[in-house]
């Protein structure tokens, strides 16, 4: 038996085999969870279906959802509710986007349009997806949400720029959601992962140097991998974390504790 036996989890934002949300899904499946996936486009749906076809979770449904559109979010939860018979135990929010030009150069040059796009996609989507899941959680007697963040939301990381500001808003949103929904036994937390070679990370200017620096200076003298992050996400979604909400849990080989 696993710690997630019988739990119904919606996983958003998976794009390919490097996605942290995919490794979270594998961890959840290993611990007994039943999964459904939400992706942005038909292209991503095809990529995720290929992953499912070569895994032990091949029977999981994949739903399309543009989380920046209210109607799309409503339709998603109609489908999820039908699939899971009106109840949901957990949701992973792994959605972030900023224009490539806003992830290089100087933050002061960020356009208004780029600012709004990054905030809508990377921060407000957590609010939208959590609000959409609320009734399914309530029907279940509670639930758990986990979102993904990064140290660049607290400190300046060269090249992270607009995404750092969006992650700061994401973390603050997580705390306010935790406070709002706590009386309904709905927990909301964030995992701050160290640099991992994902498709999203490839768009960050200077990522390779960040990756190398972390491995040299983190207390564990290494980087982390997506499986390590996925296991912590599984823990936060599980009953074992039932007393934790509004927290940012770091999975970064200890780098965040360092002053220099």
Note whether 33 and 109 are within 8 A (CB). no
Question: Of the residues 40, 124, 150, 250, which is catalytic?
Answer: 150
Nearest of 54, 159, 174, 167 to residue 107 by alpha carbon? 159
Q: Which distant-in-sequence residues (6+ apart) come within 8 Å of 26 by Cβ?
A: 55, 57, 227, 230
Note whether 177 and 188 are within 8 A (CB). yes
- Catalytic (active site) residue 160: yes
Whole-angstrom distance, CA of residue 31 vs CA of residue 234: 8
Whole-angstrom distance, CA of residue 224 vs CA of residue 251: 7
Question: Of the residues 160, 176, 213, 250, which is catalytic?
Answer: 160
- Catalytic (active site) residue 40: no
Whole-angstrom distance, CA of residue 157 vs CA of residue 151: 8
Phi, psi of 60 (to 5 degrees): -75, 135
Query: Could you list the active site residues?
Result: 150, 160
């Amino acid at each position: 038996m696993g710690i997630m036996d019988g739990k119904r989890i919606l996983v958003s934002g998976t794009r390919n085999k490097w996605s942290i949300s995919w490794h979270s899904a594998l961890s959840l499946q290993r611990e007994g969870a039943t999964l459904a996936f939400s992706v942005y486009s038909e292209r991503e749906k095809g990529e995720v279906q290929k992953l499912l076809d070569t895994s032990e979770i091949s029977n999981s449904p994949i739903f399309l959802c543009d989380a920046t559109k209210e109607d799309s979010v409503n339709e998603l939860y109609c489908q999820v509710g039908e699939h899971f018979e009106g109840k949901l135990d957990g949701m992973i929010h792994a959605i972030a986007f900023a224009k490539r030009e806003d992830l290089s150069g100087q933050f002061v040059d960020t356009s208004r349009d780029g600012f709004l796009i990054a905030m809508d996609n990377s921060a407000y989507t957590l609010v939208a997806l959590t609000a959409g899941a609320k009734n399914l959680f309530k029907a279940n007697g509670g639930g758990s949400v986990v979102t993904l963040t990064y140290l660049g939301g607290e400190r300046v990381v060269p090249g992270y720029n607009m995404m750092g500001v969006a992650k700061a808003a994401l973390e603050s949103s997580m705390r306010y959601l935790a406070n709002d929904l706590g009386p309904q036994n709905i927990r909301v937390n964030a995992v701050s992962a160290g640099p991992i070679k994902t498709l999203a990370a490839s768009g960050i200017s200077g990522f390779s140097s960040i990756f190398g620096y972390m491995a040299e200076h983190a207390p564990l003298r290494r980087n982390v991998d997506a499986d390590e992050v996925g296991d912590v996400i599984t823990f936060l979604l599980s009953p074992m974390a039932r007393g934790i909400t509004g927290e940012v849990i770091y999975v970064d080989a200890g780098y965040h504790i360092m002053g220099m």
